[in-house]
Structure 1
């Protein structure tokens, strides 16, 4: 269940998007606004899911590293080694968190760009089809 969570969560939205696109093709221009709203909802949902996953992953990583450091420090007698191990653990946590945040930002930016491009393309196609239809029927 957990592995499939994002897919399962997105299935109803994908269905909505398909329905809206089909309606847009049938009803033409009027539905472009609805497409925009649905796309914005999808983007928001994706961003929220990504952020939640990232936060959970970071918390798990921090907990694992802290527990590991605690175990190592408990089993280490030399004070110098304890300090080195603790410093190394802090560096690892910081690096991992920074990398994860950068990856999330890149993913979110890519998703937003793709969505914007798709919205523009769909709008252009829908408007062009509507224009062609009305132009030909007016003749």
Structure 2
């Protein structure tokens, strides 16, 4: 029984480590995406200010809109992945707890 409990604890610890790593990676990706977006916006604004030509301004606006749409899509995908990871972790924890309870009941039942 102690071996089963130790194995369950080790599995739970491994799950926690994986979740922490995934969350850190997701946060880093989000920060990088936001920094890139800010840089692109600044560059676009500078270019728009430097060029008084209507065509350039239209192109700049289109580029900004495309970048914003891409960023929003990426953020939505990231949130979906985060939710999936959380659900998966909860399911794994529930399964581990149920298995440990079954082992305890079987051992105590004998």
Residue of structure 1 aligned with 2:20, choices 31, 44, 55 = 44
Matches within 5 A, 1:84-123: 84-123=58-97
Distance 2:56 2:11 in 1: 58
Residue of structure 1 aligned with 2:101, choices 116, 127, 130 = 127
Specify which structure has the bigger relative contact order, considering alpha-carbon pairs within 8 angstroms and separated by 6 or more residues: 2
Distance 2:55 2:9 in 1: 62
Gaps of 5+ in 1: 1-23
| 2:26–2:78 CA contact under 8 A, matched in 1 | yes
* Alignment: residue pair count: 110
Residue of structure 2 aligned with 1:54, choices 30, 53, 59 = 30
| 1:43–1:111 CA contact under 8 A, matched in 2 | yes
Instruction: Tell me how far 1:59 sits from its aligned partner.
Output: 2.9
| 2:4–2:100 CA contact under 8 A, matched in 1 | no
| 1:62–1:93 CA contact under 8 A, matched in 2 | no
Distance 1:62 1:88 in 2: 16
* Alignment TM-score, normalising by the size of structure 1: 0.60
| 2:12–2:96 CA contact under 8 A, matched in 1 | no
Distance 1:25 1:113 in 2: 28
| 1:43–1:115 CA contact under 8 A, matched in 2 | yes
Match of 1:26 in 2: 3
| 2:15–2:89 CA contact under 8 A, matched in 1 | yes
Q: RMSD value over aligned CA atoms? A: 3.3
* Alignment TM-score, normalising by the size of structure 2: 0.73
